[in-house]
A and B are shown apart, each in its own frame.
Chain A
Amino acid sequence: MSIAAKANALWEYANPRKFLATSERVLPFFWITSLACICVGLIWGFFFTPDDYKQGSTVKIIYLHVPAALMAINCWLMMLVTSLVWLVRRHHVSALAARAAAPIGIVMTMIALLTGAIWGQPMWGTWWAWDPRLTSFLILFLFYLGYVALWEAIEDPDTAADLTSVLCLVGSVFAILSRYAVNFWNQGLHQGASVMRAAAVTGADTEEKVSNVFFYPLLICIIGFVLLFIALVLYRTGTEIRARRIKALMARERVGG
């Protein structure tokens, strides 16, 4: 299959019927693998890794904190892409997927903030500090809230999809801007990203590297969260499609009798 043909095949999933059929077929796979990955990762991480010599057992919150934070950001990226697809190609499934993803993003952001606070209390001696990373996440949280509130406030679904898509685009620019502004405003307590940096992961055991002992269960947890996110988005998008259908059927019934 050529690339163009493949791209065309991708757009077939914009058909709600095709989307529902396929997502129903693949959903069990995503549910089971994500559940397995998260179970294995968490159990391995919680019970079969040593305590850190400095942080004690609190280090183990990393298995929830890092994957949740990662998905909180990637969820917004996914909403950005689907919003663009909606604005350019007007596929309803795309707009509904963005709508379905937003509450998941809120939950992920909250998990990241809460686990961070629980970890920060014994480690930094405070639940909350106006650190750049924490502050950026708080701002991201506000963006999610505004986005969901706008979806809920507007009755006409197409208008709501249009408005939230534009908000998502503008919000993305301002979110990135805030990230840099906040960095400029306060140098933080939070350690730099150490997991996804190639040298930090593959290199020899250096000072700042996350030790392999912690890294493998963490990787499994991250994979599990990614799969869980995909499963949730597919599931919730399916729900949104069905809700839309019910509304259409009821409207038809009222009109036609």
Chain B
Amino acid sequence: MIALLLRDLKLAFRAGGGFGLGLAFFLIVTVMVPFAVGPQSSLLSTIAPGVLWLGALLACLLSLDRLLALDWEDGSLDLLATAPLPLESVVTIKALAHWLTTGLPLVLAAPFLGVLLNLPVPGFFWLVMSLLIGTPAMSVIGTFGAALTVGLKRGGLLLSLLVLPLYVPTLIFGAEVARRGATAMEVQTPLLMLAGITAATIALLPFASAAVLRINLR
């Protein structure tokens, strides 16, 4: 399992592309927002939590179609499926690798971009917390979407269409935590809901992803 994780991480870092892509996209979106909506700092600080969450979500979405497609193309997915490791663990590791290469950098970059968007000071902690808790769910849900569309020639658009409605609850609760944190309101309820969604998706969705992958590899 660890070997597989290391392999995926190495591929993401070395083969160029995978690693920096999401982060660069996140950076571009947040830097472009003030040009689009105007430089008033009060407006920017109001929309900052939502913009940062949306940017993180889209950045996650962007790297999803590489998640399984490359392994599918060169046949290593077939090898993984016949390996002694259960397919459920394979997809979990894949999701973990995706999170480490996409989600975690986003979480780390978010506070710096928050400065650019004039995020209120109490918001920083809750922004990082909500992203830290929420992005694993996005990776796991994204793995399910990638497993659904892995056999298709041009699965990219379909993948986004399938995954976007699945992201809605995560986005709502995550952005709500960040928003309430920024305005110094009580965050417990959305935070617990967000954590619940993440825990439930990590626990259950790998089984669905593995089942779907088995159908696709048939």
Contacts and interface: CB of A to CB of B under 8 A. Distances in A.
Interface of A: 139, 142-143, 145-146, 149-150, 153-154, 159, 162-163, 166-167, 169-171, 174-175, 177-178, 180-182, 184-185
B84 interface: no
Contacts of A153: 149, 152, 155, 158
B216 A159 contact: yes
Q: What 6 A-B pairs come out closest when comparing CB atoms?
A: A181-B169, A142-B165, A181-B172, A146-B162, A162-B215, A177-B169
Given A150-B158, A184-B193, A163 B216 contact: yes
Contact of A174 (B165, B173, B215): B165
Given A178-B168, A185-B172, A159 B162 contact: no
A170 B166 contact: yes
A167 B176 contact: no
Contacts of A149: 158, 161-162
A154 B158 CA distance: 11
Interface in B154-210: 155, 158, 161-162, 164-166, 168-169, 172-173, 176, 189-190, 193, 197, 205, 208
Contact of A163 (B148, B169, B173, B193): B148
Contacts of B148: 150, 163, 166-167
Nearest to A175: B165
Contacts of B208: 166, 169-170
Contact size class for B? 20 to 34
Contacts of B197: 177
Nearest to A148: B161
Q: Is the interface of A mostly helix, strand, loop or mixed?
A: helix
A150 B212 CA distance: 13
A142 B164 contact: yes
Given A154-B152, A163-B212, A185 B176 contact: yes
Given A163-B148, A163-B212, A163-B216, A139 B161 contact: no
Contact of B165 (A154, A166, A169, A171): A171
A177 B208 CA distance: 17
A195 B161 CA distance: 33
B151 interface: yes
A166 B172 contact: no
Nearest to B155: A153
A146 B85 CA distance: 31
B211 interface: yes
Contacts of B155: 153
A159 B197 CA distance: 29
Nearest to B176: A185
Contacts of A162: 212, 215
23 contacts: A142-B165, A143-B165, A146-B158, A146-B161, A150-B162, A153-B158, A159-B151, A159-B215, A159-B216, A163-B216, A166-B211, A169-B208, A170-B166, A170-B205, A174-B168, A175-B165, A177-B169, A177-B197, A178-B168, A182-B172, A184-B172, A184-B176, A184-B193
Contacts of B165: 139, 142-143, 146, 171, 174-175, 178
A163 B158 contact: no
A246 to B, nearest CB: 25
B166 A181 contact: no
A163 B215 contact: yes
B193 A181 contact: yes
Contacts of A166: 148, 208, 211-212, 215
Contacts of A159: 151, 215-216, 218
Given A154-B151, A167-B162, 18 more contacts: A139-B168, A146-B158, A146-B161, A149-B161, A153-B152, A154-B152, A159-B218, A163-B215, A167-B148, A174-B166, A175-B165, A177-B197, A178-B169, A180-B169, A181-B193, A182-B168, A182-B172, A185-B172
Given A163-B215, A177-B169, A178-B168, A170 B190 contact: no
B211 A181 contact: no
Given A174-B169, A181-B173, A184-B190, A142 B211 contact: no
A139 B169 CA distance: 11
